[in-house]
Amino acid sequence: MNSLDVVVSGLVFQDLVLGLPTPPRPGTEVWATDSQESPGGIANFAVALARLGLHTGLAAAFGADPDGDSVWDRLTEEGIDLTLSRKLAGWRTPLTVALAYDNDRALVTRGTPPLLSADELITAPPAARAVAAHIGPWPNEWLAKAKAAGCVVFADVGWDPSEQWDPAVLDQLEHCDVFLPNADEAMNYTRTSSPEQALDRLAELVPQVVVSNGAAGALAIDAGTGERVAVPAYPVQAADTTGAGDVFAAGFIAATLWDLPLELRVRFAALTAALSVTRLGGADAAPRWEDLAAWQAAHPEDHLQALISAHSGR
């Protein structure tokens, strides 16, 4: 594996997104107005990073099944290095059906834990500038190795289907530089009642915290300098919010590796997430530079203009 900008690890899903005019009700049938099949889960991170011009590797388990083959092929087409990934016989690639309606979505997932953990896939520190992982109630000892090897370590966290929100999951932040939860995740894990309170609590555990909050924008804090940032969301017509948090995090990671100030990192992340929700799908909706350049042309007053101009030729 050649030296990479970012290596990401977590669960990969095959997503089927259905755009619905109304939410489904028991005993009724709703016809979808649109649909999209797309790689999902940690693949949202990988595709969004690759589309922003970062040489990206993915360490994940794939089922040796049609869904796994489809996702693997799609990620290969995006230029993602899958050297650290494995196809596993006897295990089914998780499938998520996203029901998109009323500017939000609900998820239904079929799946079982993979037969290989991230620690078994990543046995030595990745040759990368940065790593990113979905943390949860599973071991992630490889993050400590990556941190010790000089990688910048980013962490995200997903929905807890048990809704127990075990605070022990946050112990993994010991080896992380940046934590990027959404507001619900941040409040649930910290047992707080507002995104601001959660931000302060998490800043005791990790040097930088960024809390995304959908249409309410995003908050960030640098615990070392005390700098705080509050950024509003970009107003767009949302078709599907699936994967928006992952795309937000990818935008922040990219902007961090470009050494941008904290506020510009959060603004760029908010823009990438906003553009992603205008289309169905998670990974497939991640914006390319031509999408960002088109947005810039329509909004020349925004002070991200110079950043987008500098990178849109990648």
Query: Which residue segments constitute the domains of the chain, with CATH numbers given?
Result: 4-21+32-310 (3.40.1190.20)
- The pTM score is 0.91
CA neighbours closer than 13 Å in the CB half-sphere of residue 7? 25
Nearby residues of 309 by Cβ (< 8 Å), 6 or more positions away: 293, 296
Cα–Cα distance for residue pair 184/246, rounded to 1 Å: 15
Report whether 135 contacts 157 (CB < 8 A).
Answer: yes
Nearest to 234 by CA among 279, 197, 266, 256: 266
Q: Output the CA torsion sign for 121, 124, 128, 131.
A: positive
What's the pLDDT at 303?
A: 67
What's the pLDDT at 13?
A: 94
Q: Residue 75 carries which side chain, given as an amino acid letter?
A: L
Q: Write phi, then psi, for 284 (nearest 5 degrees).
A: -65, -25
Cα–Cα distance for residue pair 196/198, rounded to 1 Å: 5
Going residue by residue through the chain (314 aa), what tens digit of pLDDT does each one get? 458 999 999 999 999 989 899 988 899 999 998 888 999 999 999 999 999 999 999 999 999 999 999 999 999 999 999 999 999 999 999 999 989 888 778 889 999 988 899 999 999 999 999 999 999 888 899 999 999 999 999 999 988 888 899 999 999 999 999 999 999 999 999 999 999 999 999 999 999 999 999 889 999 999 999 999 999 999 888 877 888 899 999 999 999 999 999 999 999 999 999 999 988 878 888 999 999 988 888 887 776 766 766 665 44
Q: Write phi, then psi, for 256 (nearest 5 degrees).
A: -65, -45
Q: Output the CA torsion sign for 100, 104, 110, 116.
A: positive
DSSP string over 188-210:
HHHT-SSHHHHHHHHTTTSSEEE
Query: And the tokens for 82?
Result: 């899958």
Task: Find how far residue 289's CA is from the centre of its chain.
Answer: 18
